[in-house]
Amino acid sequence: MKLIVSAALLVIMSVGLLISCSNKAEEPSLEPLQMSEISGNAIWDRITVESRYKNYTEWPKDSGLQPGQSPHGVWHRVFANRTLLEALPAADSTAPEGSLIVKENFGSSKTLGSITVMAKVKGYDPENGDWYWAMFDPEGKVLKEGSPGGCISCHAGMRSNDFVIINPLDMAP
Ligand code: HEC
């Protein structure tokens, strides 16, 4: 009897382990965040709990730690979720609803300083590409969120590319 119980436990544990391993590697398909629920905290939850941004694909032409420009870190790493990458190249240079771009910003000693995010939320800010902007410290504390003027005015230089600087959206990422 004891043996059967132990064998059963072992099977349950192995299945559990398998499921948790495959979850880690796979990026789940999730419903886009809606205007009614959007906030810095909702974004943090989306990129660290509901899905893990570290499992998103790093921007293919820019993967690994790359030298960044002011005011972002000296080094950066950019991840994009499947919703965005699968839509590229986009002939109209517009990211689809539900797109998430997560940028890790590192200081000169390559320690993580902050995480900046662009989340495409339908109807949130039609004048400025419907992006919800957010900035977090490495523990997830919200430092900026919503439509910070600084984020928008600088990224507006790339308004014709839906405010995305890193890559022309009408080209393969
Ligand atoms: C003074 C200009 C400037 C400001 C202000 C700025 N950014 Fe950026 N951002 C950039 C540049 C330049 C890049 C391209 C990558 C790099 O060189 O670091 C970038 C890249 C990004 C990316 C990767 C996607 C892309 O557009 O290439 C995200 C996400 C991002 N910024 C979020 C933010 C958020 C959130 C804020 C406000 C809290 C912000 N940025 C403020 C200049 C700026």
pLDDT, position 6: 55
pLDDT, position 8: 53
d(CA 136, CA 150): 15
pLDDT, position 36: 97
Q: Which domains does the chain have, with CATH numbers?
A: 2-161 (3.50.70)
In this structure, are residues 164 and 97 in contact, taking their beta carbons and an 8 Å threshold? no
Ligand 1 probe mutation, 151, 152, 159, most atoms within 8 A of CB: 151
- DSSP structure class, residue 132: E
Read off the amino acid at residue 17: L
pLDDT, position 156: 97
pLDDT, position 23: 43
Q: What is the pLDDT along the chain (173 residues), one digit of tens a residue?
A: 555 555 554 554 554 444 444 444 588 989 999 999 999 999 999 999 999 999 999 998 888 888 887 777 789 999 999 999 999 999 999 999 999 999 999 988 899 999 999 999 999 999 999 999 999 999 999 999 999 999 999 999 999 999 999 999 999 99
What are the structure tokens assigned to 37, written together?
């629920």
Q: Is the CB of 75 under 6 A from ligand 1?
A: no
Q: Which protein residue's CA is at the shortest distance from atom 12 of ligand 1?
A: 69
- Per DSSP, what are the bridge partners of residue 76? 66, 105
In this structure, are residues 163 and 155 in contact, taking their beta carbons and an 8 Å threshold? yes
Instruction: Count the neighbouring beta carbons within 10 Å of the beta carbon of residue 65.
Output: 14
Q: Is the CB of 135 under 6 A from ligand 1?
A: yes
In this structure, are residues 36 and 141 in contact, taking their beta carbons and an 8 Å threshold? no
d(CA 59, CA 173): 7
pLDDT, position 12: 45
What are the structure tokens assigned to 172, written together?
């393969």
pLDDT, position 62: 80
